[in-house]
Amino acid sequence: MHVLHVTPYFPPTWAYGGIPRIVHGLTRALARLGVTGSVWTTDALHHRRAEVPPRRVLDGVEVFVSPNASNRLAYEHQLFLPRGGEATLEALHAERPVDLLHLHGHRHLLNNVAVAFARRHGLPYVFTPNGTLPRHERKVGVKRLWDWLLADAVPRGAARIIAVSRAELGQLRRAGLPPERARQIPNGLALEEFDELPAPGTFKARWGVKGPMVAYLGQISPRKGVDHLVAAFGGGAIPGATLVIGGNDMGGLTKAKAQDHDGVIFTGLLEGPERLALLVDADVLVYPSTDEVFGLVPFEGLLCGAPVIVGGDCGCGELIAEAGAGLLVRHSDVEGLRERVRALLSDRASAEVMVRRGRRYIEQHLSFERVAQDHKLLYAEVLAEGRREAGGRREPS
């Protein structure tokens, strides 16, 4: 079985959020299960190009990179214009025939190129939107036009659509997609990455943080609720605590607001050991997002020992509640957020119990090994269905 994964961003493109991390971990785990995998991606990296070869092997997975026409357009407007993509896919298929495609994310032109390739060769594909299906937050009108012109056919032609939570299953239903094609498989975490963590106190010492530290880590945009978290710290409402906001600012507002308050530090994008150091030192990790179908950061925080507060109306809150691993808050509920931060800072014994529950839940349900096995079974189901359909179309002898 040779599965071609299609994603506009792949390591080292950490600034684009969870999808690069998810696709990397999934393909690596699938390779360990004996599933041959390839990745087609672009050289997106902030406003410049990732310094990677056009073809390389990463953790047993062959990666093919097409240069973007403009990485500024890619980063600022999510407009990925891969050069030579069709030729790359045809050459890959000629060398090692593809059996099935797995498309990650929505509204990028790589999907359109991949779907055209799949149709030419009669190949099935599965599709994981990972929260990108709804038209929310920014450029809603542009997204509506894009869907009408280019993107609507992508999910509707998929043999299976993978939802990472019940919240995303609801998004698929509201989009009118066939429920019989939907399957729920959560995102995974690479547990081995948390075996050796930075020493406690490393981040606080580097940034001059004294006393309790409340942290947010991730992309910063209105939907993420970071402005409400900043407001919860206003007027010295949580005395002695420092709020650290780690992430690339997609909205341009939060940094300005943060600078108006004492006790708020805005670090910008954190990568590698530095992001783990933040999670290790966080006395409370807050992820107050809305319309979030999963959210990796709270689970990474739990693996680093950080008690968590998450948005209650999203897939992340759904899983945290199921595990009994944290506190939930309504999006934009500033007073409720403030009360929950105070509760976790004052009752460390209860916070530690929640962290232990979270770790157990992650180990049992969210390891990439478990998630990759579910994907392997799904791929086999799709290929078997295709063989049955092909057999039914044969002329009787």
Q: In this structure, are residues 289 and 307 in contact, taking their beta carbons and an 8 Å threshold?
A: no
Reported in sequence order, the residue ranges of the chain that DSSP labels E, i.e. its strands, are: 2-6, 36-42, 44-45, 48-49, 55-58, 61-66, 100-104, 125-128, 160-163, 182-184, 213-217, 242-246, 264-268, 284-287, 308-311, 326-329
Give the per-residue pLDDT at 134.
75
Sorted by where each begins, the domain ranges of the chain are 2-188+367-392, 192-365
pLDDT at 397 (0 to 100): 37
pLDDT of residue 396: 45
Fold matches, 2-188+367-392 and 192-365: yes
CATH number of 2-188+367-392: 3.40.50.2000
Residue 122: name the closest of 150, 90, 99 by CA: 99
Q: Hey, which CATH number is domain 192-365, 3.40.50.1820, 3.40.50.2000, 3.40.50.20, 1.10.510.10?
A: 3.40.50.2000
Average pLDDT per block of 10 residues along the chain, 397 residues long: 95 79 95 96 82 91 92 77 92 96 92 95 96 72 72 91 93 92 95 94 95 91 85 85 84 52 82 92 93 88 96 86 94 92 96 97 95 98 89 56
Q: Minimal CA–CA distance to 102: which of 128, 132, 133?
A: 128
Beta strands in 98-154 (DSSP E): 100-104, 125-128
222: phi then psi, degrees, rounded to nearest 5: -55, -40
CA gap 213, 218 in Å, rounded: 16
| Interatomic CA distance for residues 363 and 313, integer angstroms | 24
